[in-house]
């Protein structure tokens, strides 16, 4: 088979696979998925040193002479006024503020699982860009009214309640090997909101986890853990948990085993031993 013919066959097989996947019926609900909203307290150390000096000099003088038939006289007078002022300020401490925004990650697999399930049509919404009024990021009703999600019947609004990276190094008993682990745990609170009457159709907390494990058999070696792999696993696990809980709440029936199987498959550890 020629190379060109092989490409044609591969394209036909790919097309067959795509069109065989579940597709949302034309009458299925249109859902927009927001980027994940977050809020965190940020503390920053600051130290300020300021010094200034101000000085002024004012001088004046006067001279007069007088002559008459009986003699002459002269008078001279003067004054000097000088001022000098200096200031020095030194301060240090911790400045704390609330940082709010949207995380532009982890929603691609949520949308992908929704498309795979055929439960709905996924719509594209507008990101929140008002950096001056970040407290309004939680007012999802106002964002719906302002047209952030055109054409959507529902909005799946997600807020991060916990996100935590962990990096650990633990010795393996009775060996000279050390197990290095990088893991990520993400918990998101979701609400499915009707864009017409603003009622909540479904609400749940979903979790995604991912990790990378490598074994190092020498104490002097260096191991680099795969952060991208950890984020990818977490995103896929989150998407699987979201569609599982969505289908359970909307239909009252547990999701098919295929989704739970994919979630478990994404959690399989890849262990590499470095010497």
In a domain, 5, yes or no: no
Task: Collect all residues with Cβ–Cβ distance below 8 Å to 50 and sequence separation of at least 6.
Answer: 87, 88, 89, 90
**Cβ pair 215, 172 in contact under 8 A:** yes
- Regarding whether 205 and 228 lie in a shared domain, the answer is yes
- Regarding whether 31 and 54 lie in a shared domain, the answer is no
In a domain, 105, yes or no: yes
Model pLDDT, residue 103: 81
Query: Average pLDDT, whole number, for the chain?
Result: 77
What are the tokens at 31?
């859902």
- Regarding whether 167 and 77 lie in a shared domain, the answer is no
DSSP the chain: --HHHHHHHHHHHHHHHHHHS----TTSPEEEEPPEEEEEEEEEEEEEEEEEEEEEEEEEEEEEEEEETTEEEEEEEEEEEEEEEEEEEEEEEEEEEEEEEEE-SS-HHHHHHHHHHTS-EEE--PPP--SS-GGGGG-HHHHHHTTSSTT-SEEEEEEEEEEEEEEEEEEPTTSS-EEEEEEEEEEEEEEEEETTT--EEEEEEEEEEEEEEEEES-TT------HHHHHHHHHHHHHHHHHHHHHHHHHSSPPPHHHHHHHHHHT---EEEE-
- Regarding whether 229 and 145 lie in a shared domain, the answer is yes
CATH of the domain at 156: 3.40.50
**Cβ pair 37, 157 in contact under 8 A:** yes
- Regarding whether 180 and 72 lie in a shared domain, the answer is no
- Write down which residue in 91, 122, 147 finishes a domain: 91
In a domain, 230, yes or no: yes
Q: How many residues does the chain have?
A: 275
- Write down which residue in 91, 109, 125 finishes a domain: 91
In a domain, 234, yes or no: yes
CA–CA separation, 133 and 149 (whole Å) = 19
Each of the 275 residues of the chain gets a pLDDT tens digit; together they read 554 444 444 444 434 333 344 556 666 889 999 999 887 666 666 677 777 777 776 767 677 666 666 666 667 766 767 777 777 777 777 756 566 778 888 899 999 999 998 888 999 888 888 877 888 888 999 999 999 999 999 999 999 999 899 998 888 888 888 888 999 999 999 999 999 999 999 999 999 999 999 988 866 677 888 999 999 999 999 999 999 999 898 876 554 444 444 444 444 444 444 33
In a domain, 264, yes or no: yes
In a domain, 14, yes or no: no
- Regarding whether 213 and 155 lie in a shared domain, the answer is yes
Model pLDDT, residue 229: 93
- Regarding whether 259 and 131 lie in a shared domain, the answer is yes
- Regarding whether 220 and 210 lie in a shared domain, the answer is yes
CA–CA separation, 246 and 202 (whole Å) = 7
Domain that includes residue 119, residue range: 25-45+100-274
**Cβ pair 128, 144 in contact under 8 A:** no
Domain count, the chain: 2
Q: What angle do CA 129, 161, 227 make, to 5 degrees?
A: 80
Model pLDDT, residue 268: 45
In a domain, 4, yes or no: no
- Regarding whether 63 and 122 lie in a shared domain, the answer is no
- Regarding whether 224 and 161 lie in a shared domain, the answer is yes
- Regarding whether 71 and 189 lie in a shared domain, the answer is no
- pLDDT tens-digit map of 31-79: 999 999 887 666 666 677 777 777 776 767 677 666 666 666 667 766 7
- Regarding whether 164 and 33 lie in a shared domain, the answer is yes
In a domain, 2, yes or no: no
Model pLDDT, residue 207: 95
- Write down which residue in 91, 115, 145 finishes a domain: 91
């Amino acid at each position: 088979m020629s190379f060109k013919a092989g490409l044609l066959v591969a394209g036909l097989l790919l097309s067959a696979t795509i069109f065989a996947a579940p597709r949302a019926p034309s009458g299925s609900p249109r859902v927009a998925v927001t980027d994940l909203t977050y809020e965190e307290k940020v503390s920053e150390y600051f130290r300020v040193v300021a010094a200034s000096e101000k000085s002024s000099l004012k001088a004046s003088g006067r001279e007069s002479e007088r002559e008459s038939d009986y003699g002459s006289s002269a008078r001279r007078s003067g004054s000097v006024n000088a001022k000098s002022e200096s200031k020095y300020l030194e301060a240090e401490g911790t400045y704390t503020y609330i940082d709010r925004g949207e995380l532009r990650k982890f929603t691609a697999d949520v949308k992908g699982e929704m498309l795979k399930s055929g439960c709905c049509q996924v719509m594209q919404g507008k990101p929140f860009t008002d950096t001056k009024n970040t407290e309004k990021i939680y007012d999802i009703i106002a964002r719906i009214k302002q047209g952030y999600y055109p054409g959507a019947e529902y909005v799946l609004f997600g807020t991060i309640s916990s996100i935590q990276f962990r990096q650990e190094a633990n010795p393996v008993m009775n060996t000279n090997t050390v197990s290095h682990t990088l893991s990520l745990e993400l918990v998101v609170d979701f609400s499915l909101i009707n864009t017409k009457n603003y009622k909540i159709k479904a609400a749940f907390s979903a979790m995604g986890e991912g990790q990378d494990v490598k074994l190092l058999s020498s104490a002097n070696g260096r191991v680099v853990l795969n952060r991208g792999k950890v984020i990818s696993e977490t995103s896929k696990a989150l998407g699987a948990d979201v569609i599982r809980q969505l289908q359970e709440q909307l239909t009252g029936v547990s999701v098919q085993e295929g989704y739970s199987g994919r979630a478990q498959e994404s959690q399989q550890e890849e262990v590499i031993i470095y010497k």
